[in-house]
């Protein structure tokens, strides 16, 4: 098992750990990485195409994309602790206790905190919270596993 120390990662380093790429990479940087937790952030670009339809007169980042940012942060944490075998990708298998508390708008910065609460074989259980300007936007629990894309 790799033992990560407190550190930060830029976008290029993040992309070495997880398969996500723009336009579906929702992490700009990891600001702190501990053995069982991670803090990351992402700036919400007002020019994202999705704001043309969600909603044109009142643009809001969809909650599912907020959750995706947390999933990606969890994937980075897992990849640093337990480097996957070549070709394996993280796949979310469960989503629980999702609570949306605040809308996320264009131009804001999401601060993402993820904690690994348990590991059973190749199943990872995590808790996450996302805040904007110190206000809770969403909290959730989720599980994921490493999958081999070659398997059906």
Instruction: Specify the DSSP element, H or E, that contains 67.
Output: helix 63-81
What lies within 8 Å, CB to CB, of 78 at 6+ separation is: 84, 90, 116, 124, 144, 146
Q: Is 20 a catalytic residue?
A: no
* 8 A C-beta contact, residue 67 and residue 98: yes
- SS3 at position 17: helix
Selected catalytic residue, list 36, 39, 54, 102:
54
Give the span between the Cα atoms of 111 and 20, in whole angstroms.
19
The residues carrying an active-site annotation are: 54
């Amino acid at each position: 098992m790799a033992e990560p120390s407190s550190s930060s990662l830029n976008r290029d380093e993040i992309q070495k750990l997880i398969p996500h790429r723009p336009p579906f990479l929702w992490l700009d940087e990891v600001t702190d990485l501990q053995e069982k937790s991670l803090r990351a952030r992402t700036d919400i670009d007002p020019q994202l195409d999705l704001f043309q339809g969600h909603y044109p007169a009142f643009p809001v980042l969809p909650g599912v994309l907020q959750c995706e940012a947390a999933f990606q942060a969890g994937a980075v944490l897992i990849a640093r602790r337990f480097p996957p075998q070549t070709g394996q990708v993280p796949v979310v298998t469960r989503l629980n206790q999702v609570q949306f508390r605040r809308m996320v708008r264009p131009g804001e910065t999401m601060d993402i905190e993820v904690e690994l609460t348990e590991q059973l074989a190749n199943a990872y259980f995590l808790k996450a919270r996302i805040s904007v300007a110190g206000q809770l936007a969403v909290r959730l629990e989720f599980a994921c596993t490493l999958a081999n894309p070659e398997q059906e």
